[in-house]
Amino acid sequence: MPRGGIRTAVRDAALIVFGSFVYAVGIDCFEIPNGLAAGGLTGVATITSALAANAGITLPVGIQTIAMNAVLLGYVYATTHDGGYVTQSIFGMIVSGLFTDLLAPVLPVPVHNDLLLSAIWGGVIAGAGIGIVFLSGGNTGGTDIVCQLIARRTGMPLGTLAIIVDGAIVAASIPVFSLTNALYAGVAMYISGRVIDAIVDGPLTARVAFVISSEHDRIGNQILYTLGRGCTELQARGLWSGSSRPVLMCVLGRTETHRLKEIVAGIDPDAVVIVTEVHEAFGEGFTQIGSGS
């Protein structure tokens, strides 16, 4: 591996480890001890852990998330053969799950019986951790995988699916904890999402990528069927050469830019890739255009 590649790999690994540590602090100090199942597989594991504790059984949250993510990633690989995505996810998934269980016995619980403070700080710290992991191009698994699988079969926007899936997890926590806990879990989930956006993209929510390559057909197919994003082919002409060449335009979510660059580099390392930020994105895969937009 080239020296630059080693440095990048070490940097990404360090971001994943640090981000997973920060995420575990937010979960262990504020959310799990106060019964806040703020969406995601960690929310599911928080619910099942509480049910198991009522039956006298110890069921660690982190180990549960690792097991659930392993099943999901196995299905992803079996149906898409996207080994790169699975490899990126495995490290973050395992590290975040292990930190969640290893830190739980030693971390203090600063807030007891104050659900508002728990939701705010749990959302801020856990969201910061996930955002740091996203900066590496990795992820911690979770319901994003579920949403992507459903989107491929139904065509529903990922943003809408994320709200539905995480909302269902929060609702499922009501009989286990309480309606009040579930409402504050929703607050924590919202804050976490906003913090992730702030870390990864600042105030911006989407990016537009333009790809100029002689291998535009192969790259376009990979964007469509591996990344799961729509891709538009624009006709352009180089002023110097006078030759026509298609330009691919793709609107991406906050976690997908790194994967797009990997796809292009794997097919045509000499391709020109221009990534720019956009303030808003509407349509399929993003927020739907409405009268109030």
pLDDT in tens, 47-88: 999 999 999 999 999 999 999 988 888 877 777 666 666 776
Of 276, 265, 272, 252, the residue nearest 212 (C-alpha): 272
104-113: long-range contacts, CB 8 A cutoff, minimum separation 24? 104/28, 104/32, 104/60, 104/61, 104/62, 107/25, 107/28, 107/29, 108/29, 109/29, 109/30, 109/33, 109/34, 110/29, 110/30, 111/30, 111/34, 112/33, 112/34, 113/34
Quote the tokens at residue 203.
């105030």
- Whether 240 shows a pLDDT value over 50: the answer reads yes
Question: Which of the residue ranges 88-92, 247-251, 270-274 would you say has the lowest mean pLDDT?
Answer: 88-92
Yes or no: say if 251 and 281 are a contact pair by the CB < 8 Å rule.
Answer: yes
Instruction: Give residue 145's Cα distance to chain centre.
Output: 8
The domains of the chain, with CATH numbers, are 3-201 (no CATH), 206-278 (3.30.70.120)
Task: Please name the amino acid found at residue 188.
Answer: A
Q: What pTM does this model have?
A: 0.70
Yes or no: say if 212 and 245 are a contact pair by the CB < 8 Å rule.
Answer: yes
- Label residues 231-246 b or e (16+ Cβ within 10 Å = b): beeeeeeeeeeeeeeb
Yes or no: say if 252 and 207 are a contact pair by the CB < 8 Å rule.
Answer: yes
pLDDT in tens, 95-140: 999 999 999 999 999 988 899 999 999 999 999 998 898 888 777 7
Task: Please name the amino acid found at residue 83.
Answer: G
Spatial CB neighbours of 102, under 8 Å, sequence gap ≥ 6: 24, 62
Identify any residues that bridge with 275 across adjacent strands, giving them in sequence order: 209
pLDDT at 63: 94
Could you give the CA distance from residue 79 to residue 134 in angstroms, rounded to a whole number?
Answer: 24
Give me the phi and psi of 248, to 5 degrees please: -90, 135
Task: Please name the amino acid found at residue 258.
Answer: H
Share of residues in the chain with pLDDT > 90 (%): 38
pLDDT in tens, 150-196: 767 776 766 677 778 888 999 999 999 999 999 999 999 999 888 88
Residue 12: C-alpha distances to residues 15, 17, 190, 272 (Å)? 5, 9, 26, 24
